[in-house]
Amino acid sequence: MEDFTDLINYAKKIAAETDKVIFEIVSGKPKLLYDASLHLIKAGGKRLRPLATVLGGRLFGLKEEIGVKAGAAVELLHNFTLVHDDIMDKDEFRRGVPTVHKLWGEDIAILAGDLLFAKAFEALLRLADYGIDNEVIVKAARELCWASVTVAEGQALDLSLSKLETVTLDDYIEMIYKKTAALFKASLCIGAILAKAPEEEIDKLASYAVNVGIAFQIRDDELGLVADEKKLGKPVFSDLREGKKTVLVIYALSKASEEEKKFLLSVLGNENATKEQLKRAAEIIISLGALDYSNKLANEFLEKGLRALDSIHEVDSEAKALLRKLALFVTKRQY
Amino acid sequence: MEDFTDLINYAKKIAAETDKVIFEIVSGKPKLLYDASLHLIKAGGKRLRPLATVLGGRLFGLKEEIGVKAGAAVELLHNFTLVHDDIMDKDEFRRGVPTVHKLWGEDIAILAGDLLFAKAFEALLRLADYGIDNEVIVKAARELCWASVTVAEGQALDLSLSKLETVTLDDYIEMIYKKTAALFKASLCIGAILAKAPEEEIDKLASYAVNVGIAFQIRDDELGLVADEKKLGKPVFSDLREGKKTVLVIYALSKASEEEKKFLLSVLGNENATKEQLKRAAEIIISLGALDYSNKLANEFLEKGLRALDSIHEVDSEAKALLRKLALFVTKRQY
């Protein structure tokens, strides 16, 4: 087992610095709106995306301090998507606390998300005040735009896949690429762009990010099936209740007997499914070998991502070593 | 009565060109999401904000073509706010068609708004591909950020004022400054920024925009009380039903007898108010002289805005003449 101590300590340091930047940027009136906007940020989170920005920048010589300021932008964008997704998914808990719409109502939650979205761009554009070239700021902001568009497309795909009976593995991978991996990619590439890294090196970093991002989401979907509620910070089996077509569900449906399939489809996306039925559905999915399959799949993506990382010509080998650990950390088996 | 023919013809030309830019930028998959995002844009609208960007730029020598491309950004931002506001206000019609959430549901409407938001920034940042200096692009994008933040604050204020019994004129003016005038100001200033206008000229243009924007919103609030449903494109009296504290309501409450006040407060913000009760409330508000008062107030703001415009040192006097007409056009009495 890998020793993650140095990564975790560095992550904590970057998280604290990122939060300082965020609290400075996200302040204003009316108080209600700003309280709602900061709620999830104050509730916790590992700030792995800003960490990725800092390390992606450091690889090519960007000052950590600038990486943190840019990292605040991707963390703000991430939190914006969480606030809006929670409304759509009707999730009541996140990071162990009630969601924004649960506490302030949907109207303020929509606005809080919108505010965080605007503040994400503000965080990046403010780099002009710190002597960063306008050319790379524009390039970085375009990367943030691309991620925003792609994440919205991914969420729309996710909503539509939930309503389909048959979803292919390719559909699922495209969806999690857009919904999860795209922002992880942007987080890293924004750091590299600000460091003025060569295009071909940015492409390799993007390949690392996309593959690790997909592997991470597969692991996260596993957690939705096997983790306990406390660890998850939200009700277990909510993916099943919402009818999410994770790789586990896709695999299980392809291997299930007619009877099992009928039962699974009667539970998936059924708002009135009982806890017992959800538990039974999870047992069937596991018994069909879905976790072994997803484990294999996650490892393939992880390996591909690590190979891309290895091929990068970096100027900071410590940053590269930390990115290797970050990949292992976010994709480690937690069951 | 002013002859608006030249303004209207120019507005139509700019609208057609803006739409071309918007349709090019807002395209992709899933189709559902992009259809929902383009719905209100296809339903009509005068595109007065892009027109403002073009004219604000032309004042200081910006090419019309670049003004149109930047104008697409403010129109996209405007439509994003309409889609999200309609969800919050539970409005079912806009521009004579059902609202986005009414046709596609709230989830897709939230996402469609988010997508338009991201595309607004994309439209501005793309100017880098047309030889515009990165420095002014960053400055213009910061202005768009400021507007996004301010509009969200304004909408939050609007929601909270609706729930209060006592609202002052200052509260109302602050709210419509943020909710309406801020984006009109950004629309004009983005044009001037891209034209590299001097700071003091941009400040004068901002003063024109803010004052005309406030006058426009006062007129728009009047329409909610007196226009017919067909002209309005949405149900009449919806402001009263939602309990919006417009200048008309604030004035009427300050002049009403105890009995009238009691009746007005029982109808304002009451979802179950009948059409008859709403009509009676509107009659009371009008009988108390609210329209005379708002008319006077709108004219004061308009005059202040026109004085600011007069003081600008422009390079294109036709653009200045059109901006004068634009101010008169958006603030003309329609009852």
Average pLDDT over residues A3-28: 98
pLDDT (tens digit, 9 = 90+) per residue, B286-330? 999 999 999 999 999 999 999 999 999 999 999 999 999 999 999
Whether residue A62 has pLDDT greater than 80: yes
pLDDT at B229: 67
Comparing A267-271, B197-201, B204-208, the range with the smallest average pLDDT is A267-271
Please check whether residue A178 is in contact with residue A42, taking contact to mean a CB–CB distance below 8 angstroms. no
Distances (CA, A) of B183 to A83, B50, B280, B298: 24, 11, 34, 18
Query: Across the interface, do A152 and B128 touch by the CB < 8 Å criterion?
Result: no
pTM listed for this prediction: 0.95
Q: From CA B113, how far away is CA B26, in angstroms rounded?
A: 12
User: pLDDT band at residue B166, thresholds of 50, 70 and 90?
Assistant: confident
Report the chain B residue with the minimal C-alpha distance to residue A147. B118
Q: Phi and psi dihedrals of A57, rounded to 5?
A: -70, -45
Contacts of B135 in chain A (CB under 8 A): 134
Whether residue B272 has pLDDT greater than 70: yes
Q: Phi and psi dihedrals of A185, rounded to 5?
A: -60, -50
- Put simply, whether A78 touches B (Cβ < 8 Å) is no
Amino acid at B28: G
* Helices and strands (DSSP H and E) totals, chain A: 17, 2
Whether residue B234 has pLDDT greater than 70: no
Please check whether residue B101 is in contact with residue B109, taking contact to mean a CB–CB distance below 8 angstroms. yes
Contacts of B145 in chain A (CB under 8 A): 118-119, 121-122, 125
Query: Across the interface, do A28 and B125 touch by the CB < 8 Å criterion?
Result: no
Q: Which residue has the tokens 């998280």?
A: A15
Query: Across the interface, do A117 and B141 touch by the CB < 8 Å criterion?
Result: no
Amino acid at B244: K
Q: From CA A153, how far away is CA B139, in angstroms rounded?
A: 28
Q: Phi and psi dihedrals of B331, rounded to 5?
A: -115, 10
pLDDT at A130: 96
Q: Note the helical H segments in B134-274.
A: 134-162, 169-176, 182-194, 199-226, 229-232, 238-241, 247-255, 258-267
CA B41 to chain centre: 14
| Facing residue for B156 by CB, picked from A32, A119, A137 | A32
pLDDT at B238: 84
| Facing residue for B29 by CB, picked from A106, A141, A153 | A153
Q: How close B260 comes to chain A (CA, Å)?
A: 31
- Put simply, whether A149 touches B (Cβ < 8 Å) is yes
- Put simply, whether A35 touches B (Cβ < 8 Å) is no
Query: What percent of chain B has a predicted confidence (pLDDT) above 90?
Result: 89
**Sign of torsion over alpha carbons B203, B206, B207, B208:** positive
Whether residue A228 has pLDDT greater than 80: no
DSSP letters spanning A204-267? HHHHHHHHHHHHHHHHHHHHHHHS-HHHHTS-TTHHHHTT---HHHHHHHHH--HHHHHHHHHH
Average pLDDT over residues B187-202: 98
pLDDT at A229: 67
pLDDT (tens digit, 9 = 90+) per residue, A102-154? 999 999 999 999 999 999 999 999 999 999 999 999 999 999 999 999 999 99
Mean pLDDT of the residues in chain B: 95
The two three-digit tokens of residue A10, written as one number: 């560095």
Domains of chain B: 5-330 (1.10.600.10)
- Put simply, whether A155 touches B (Cβ < 8 Å) is yes
Q: Which is nearest to A210 in space by CA: A226, A188, A194, A230?
A: A188
Which helix (H) or strand (E) segment holds residue A94: the answer is: strand A93-94
Q: From CA B315, how far away is CA B296, in angstroms rounded?
A: 33
| Facing residue for B160 by CB, picked from A32, A119, A142 | A32
Q: How close A142 comes to chain B (CA, Å)?
A: 6
| Max CA pair span of chain A | 65
DSSP letters spanning B73-116? HHHHHHHHHHHHHHHHHT--EETTEE-HHHHH-HHHHHHHHHHH
Query: Across the interface, do B114 and A119 touch by the CB < 8 Å criterion?
Result: no
Q: From CA A78, how far away is CA A119, in angstroms rounded?
A: 11
Classify A227 in phi/psi space as left (phi over 0), alpha (psi -120 to 50) or beta: beta
* Helices and strands (DSSP H and E) totals, chain B: 17, 2
Q: From CA B4, how far away is CA A319, in angstroms rounded?
A: 63
pLDDT (tens digit, 9 = 90+) per residue, B41-70? 999 999 999 999 999 999 999 999 999 999
pLDDT (tens digit, 9 = 90+) per residue, A167-225? 999 999 999 999 999 999 999 999 999 999 999 999 999 999 999 999 999 999 998 88
pLDDT (tens digit, 9 = 90+) per residue, A164-183? 888 999 999 999 999 999 99
| Facing residue for A134 by CB, picked from B121, B138, B156 | B138
Q: What ipTM does the predicted assembly reach?
A: 0.94
Contacts of B154 in chain A (CB under 8 A): none
User: pLDDT band at residue B224, thresholds of 50, 70 and 90?
Assistant: confident
- Who contacts A330 (Cβ-Cβ below 8 Å, separation ≥6)? A48, A212, A215, A216, A219
Report the chain B residue with the minimal C-alpha distance to residue A80. B114
